[in-house]
Structure 1
């Protein structure tokens, strides 16, 4: 028998937690905690109940119990603040409140405590929530796909600047690209009330943007319109779409708030076009990343004040270092630091430039305090930017703040619940956070998930080797270390801090010692 809730399945017989087809790594105690809460979901479970069931009556501190509950919540993308699945009732206990279906091995539903049989829904946030789906490219040139995607990126970013909105990250929305979708299903899978669909047609010197806003609960069309004009008015047209959507969701919103959320990144449309091409090319491969970097440099050449292009160029250098393919590390690190500084100086109110530039300053220049200040500013300007929360989780790892790293990682995953790249990067950050907190069983579980999702991500492979080494799994540690050295043969203990820039030397010492035991050469 399995317990199904949202897009998760808990299999007590195999002792596995699944999200879709993927296994979610959980430590044995955390699995037992979830299992016990789900089995007893019809009642409030006391602290003593949990201690007797999970710890066999041994003395357990409130802090230890809270930590395990938070890890259990994180495993199912819940948080202590949201509590949509595991609810804490002060002075009474805890209860699993999510709809659960019991399913037999033959797929037959044995019991149903509510929810959608086909696609269990994510709980709606406590504020209006929206996903912007990929717009159809109606241009005669299929190569203009990057341009249509860029329009969606801009509209998503503009909407996310409204603090009272909950906006799903672009990468999760784009998992529906090229598919015929049911907006009700999209609403359930992403946990949103509204869905924006549309199309973009670019022909010669003119552009047309059409959009329709749909209530994902009822399927009702709340607004539909199209906006057309010369290409130089593109940003104004995007603002018109954004304003119309916001006006349909909250008609009484003050005009000044809409005005403040409008942001024109550049007057130079050629520079912006190169920037969009760079975004479309930017990937975690050496060739694609190098091509994207040149496109961002071209955008900067055409508009030396384009903050987001500086931020992405700096990020390309971060990727080069993480991939172990810098040709001249000192020279490239200096150049990346210059780009990052330009990004945060020019983009004081641009959350994308702030988070990308800020992280580059931490990873490449070890300017951790400035990086944290820029990252915090990015999150204040745009609390819906999933990438900023993910990068902030990594930044907190390097700063030696594991609990904050886990909190920010969980928030990133809720804002982007279907982004494959978010999972391996965020699980990697969670693995390092648990490692710093000496929770090596949880570090190993998260590391294995990160490596499973992307075996080529060097940081995840290294934390897998370190976690296995500390857990005494010597063979697995050596195997992971061998994979890491295949990705980067030049990796040694002497240059390890280039890859893992821990601020606290005691954190780095533990990590380095574990990798030495796993077989990393001096």
Structure 2
């Protein structure tokens, strides 16, 4: 086998798997275009040899290491120009690693440490950047019009000895300069004036960011999560220093709004609200907070309001160095609040050198409302929290949203908030505040109104996706969910709901990927997101990951039916029959009418294999076929002819299993009227073979629900001649002459 010294270049697409999940064919086509139009001409110009492509990357050999780096520099500069002119979603960004080392040649292929080191080095390059080995640097340091940043010696996977690594500074302002990270770190421990001078001198280098120059290995190792490929930010809760707790909601609202607006920027990674508010001691060391959340940058600030004046102090800190990248003090009128927010967001984006798409600029330029009183009510609604809430919390939340709309009917976010409450009511408890049909209509109407006012409103798109999913409109549901994520790619709940829709429309692997992203965005997730994640993992047949999430959600939401239901089935999947039976017992204690027939109707929009999997799990966990443990005897079932006679101009009188008395009348045209002490409704019926099917407006998703009629043999209901069983009711009755 031939050995030789060669310059090896490896290029890899950043985030290729995610891009492929969104548009596999388009991503592959763009990769091939870059290969033929950018890489291959440059490789040929500098006498390189394309050894092979490797899925989303390529391996190239050069005889000259100077030629290899020249090729890499020109490729990245041309790619930067092309990407600047392309929409955000159609950009491919490469990392490139270059190494000079010994290789083994086998036919047309090459192997060995020289190749392996190049591959490891490229992972240390910035997106759109180049990283090189020390052996490469020693040969090229004075031969190209670029600069270098030393990362010192780094340990990389499967390479025994540490390797010197340098990042290439592509900006001409950095040409001829080499900055040493460790040496420079010690020198910056000088008085602040000297440090400021050095920061100003370094500001012109495109690839020279303080965080990349000063990365203490011990600090990075403390991080709970790997740092993302893009600038990562946590907005800590602003502190109200007004001395008046009535302004707490304003400080929390400012925090929320900054998180929401920054979440719209695809070039950033932004930690979710719940996780930043879950950090109780934000007065501690910024590095500790950043390590817990796994972010590079932290924004912190204070807010003080006195009458119409507003004073805001804000600071953006590089957590790896402890240095402030930017700080500002605003002393403005309260009416200037949105202008302050815009300025803060603009300064963050500028400090982190993030490029915005045209759509992102338009979204960030939108003012949510001109009416600050309406905005104040909106903030109060947002602070209430409304997932699996009690009825009073729901009512307060809705009242605040409605007051905001009374003051500004064109406030899209307030319409979307009402839609969000309504879809929760509709999905999770069918007569909670509104009937199912009313909640569904309110959710559709409010989401539609929000989208008329703001076509990119992410929350409204998510609500629409959930409604479309249950309506069986899979393609539209996925499209709406993807639109929501495109509008707000850093919102954990929105990404999590996309994962749910993917899971329930057959894309299990992609659903898991999206849910993992949601949990990374919200590393301390609320119970609602934990339950959602558990359901997604369970649906994707990964109950080992699902169970711990569901258990935590169940403990926080002990009266949430889905937590008990899914956990019982997941225990079966995991082979723990004892825990499954125990969970089913608690489910039936809290919700005695739970039964397989009900869940079968509820999830009739699921894929057949997913529904069968869930029903089999619930059955094995001990969930009964019919409500209240009713067991049917086929010999007692009423046949079609007799059933038709029983609902032809007849009146039924009797009691529900829970003792509620009722009267139900049937005419000759398929209409029915039902009355009890607290219900008076009308509906339609059909006899389908041996089944009696009914539809009452506003009940059970406004669909036909079918059940059976049996002759009654229950000794405790001996006054009733018959029993009518449906997925949600067990009614004992006799026919009134």
* Shared fold per TM-score greater than 0.5: yes
Q: Deviations over 1:80-130 (max 9, x none)?
A: x99xxxxxx9xx9xx9959xxxxxxxxxxxxxxx74599444222122111
Give aligned pairs, total: 412
Q: Report the Cα offset of residue 132 of structure 1.
A: 0.7
Distance 1:289 1:484, change over 3 A: farther
Q: C-alpha separation between the residues in 1 aligned to 2:544 and 2:605? A: 19
1:130/1:167 contact within 8 Å kept: yes
Specify the SS of the correspondent of 1:214: strand
1:351/1:378 contact within 8 Å kept: yes
Q: C-alpha separation between the residues in 2 aligned to 1:256 and 1:460? A: 38
Distance 1:490 1:290, change over 3 A: farther
| Matched residue, 2:309 | 206
Tell which deviates more after alignment, 142-151 or 479-488: 479-488
Q: Deviations over 1:124-170 (max 9, x none)?
A: 21221111100001223202211111111111222222222221112
| Matched residue, 2:489 | 383
Does 2:315 match 1:216? no
Does 2:543 match 1:443? yes
Distance 1:472 1:132, change over 3 A: closer
| Matched residue, 2:539 | 433
Q: Deviations over 1:223-279 (max 9, x none)?
A: 111223222221111101111222222299899975652331112222222221111
Distance 1:257 1:477, change over 3 A: closer
1:300/1:310 contact within 8 Å kept: yes
Q: C-alpha separation between the residues in 2 aligned to 1:491 and 1:343? A: 36
Q: Report the Cα offset of residue 189 of structure 1.
A: 1.8
Matches within 5 A, 1:32-43: none
Q: Report the Cα offset of residue 196 of structure 1.
A: 0.6
Q: C-alpha separation between the residues in 1 aligned to 2:454 and 2:510? A: 25
| Matched residue, 1:275 | 378
Does 2:449 match 1:342? yes
1:361/1:368 contact within 8 Å kept: no
Of the three residues 337, 354, 361, the one matched with 1:234 is 337
Distance 1:368 1:291, change over 3 A: farther
Specify the SS of the correspondent of 1:279: helix
| Matched residue, 1:264 | 367
Q: Report the Cα offset of residue 209 of structure 1.
A: 2.1
Q: Report the Cα offset of residue 335 of structure 1.
A: 2.2
Distance 1:370 1:191, change over 3 A: same
Matches within 5 A, 1:314-463: 314-324=419-429, 326-327=431-432, 328-355=435-462, 357-362=463-468, 365-421=471-527, 424-435=530-541, 442-455=542-555, 456=557, 457-463=560-566
Q: Deviations over 1:422-454 (max 9, x none)?
A: 66234313333323xxxxxx3255124322343
1:139/1:202 contact within 8 Å kept: yes
Of the three residues 188, 196, 209, the one matched with 2:291 is 188
Tell which deviates more after alignment, 192-201 or 412-421: 412-421
2:530/2:549 contact within 8 Å kept: yes
Q: Deviations over 1:180-204 (max 9, x none)?
A: 2211112222222211110112222
Specify the SS of the correspondent of 2:313: strand
Structure 1 or 2: more helix by fraction: 1
Does 2:399 match 1:294? yes
| Matched residue, 1:308 | 413
Distance 1:274 1:251, change over 3 A: closer
Tell which deviates more after alignment, 477-486 or 319-328: 319-328
Q: C-alpha separation between the residues in 1 aligned to 2:156 and 2:523? A: 21
Distance 1:257 1:453, change over 3 A: closer
Distance 1:123 1:296, change over 3 A: same
Specify the SS of the correspondent of 1:176: coil
Tell which deviates more after alignment, 251-260 or 218-227: 251-260
Q: Report the Cα offset of residue 343 of structure 1.
A: 3.1
Distance 1:390 1:368, change over 3 A: same
Q: C-alpha separation between the residues in 1 aligned to 2:412 and 2:359? A: 24
Q: C-alpha separation between the residues in 2 aligned to 1:467 and 1:272? A: 43
Distance 1:400 1:253, change over 3 A: closer
1:333/1:364 contact within 8 Å kept: no
| Matched residue, 2:632 | none
Identify unmatched segments of 5+ residues in structure 2.
Answer: 1-93, 96-115, 120-154, 159-216, 627-737
2:469/2:477 contact within 8 Å kept: no
Distance 1:390 1:255, change over 3 A: closer
Q: TM-score under structure 2 normalisation?
A: 0.51
Does 2:611 match 1:511? no
Tell which deviates more after alignment, 134-143 or 509-518: 509-518
Q: Deviations over 1:469-501 (max 9, x none)?
A: 455544322221232334444433343257546
Distance 1:250 1:431, change over 3 A: closer
Identify unmatched segments of 5+ residues in structure 1.
Answer: 1-80, 83-88, 99-113, 436-441
TM-align CA RMSD: 3.4
Q: C-alpha separation between the residues in 2 aligned to 1:120 and 1:138? A: 31
Q: C-alpha separation between the residues in 2 aligned to 1:477 and 1:160? A: 39
Q: C-alpha separation between the residues in 1 aligned to 2:306 and 2:586? A: 48
Structure with bigger gyration radius = 2
Structure 1 or 2: more strand by fraction: 2
Specify the SS of the correspondent of 1:461: helix
Q: TM-score under structure 1 normalisation?
A: 0.70
| Matched residue, 1:61 | none
Q: C-alpha separation between the residues in 1 aligned to 2:569 and 2:609? A: 15
Q: C-alpha separation between the residues in 2 aligned to 1:251 and 1:325? A: 45
| Matched residue, 2:245 | 142
| Matched residue, 2:389 | 285
Q: C-alpha separation between the residues in 2 aligned to 1:499 and 1:513? A: 15
1:379/1:388 contact within 8 Å kept: yes
| Matched residue, 2:348 | 245
Q: C-alpha separation between the residues in 2 aligned to 1:208 and 1:256? A: 31
Of the three residues 148, 153, 161, the one matched with 2:256 is 153
| Matched residue, 2:639 | none
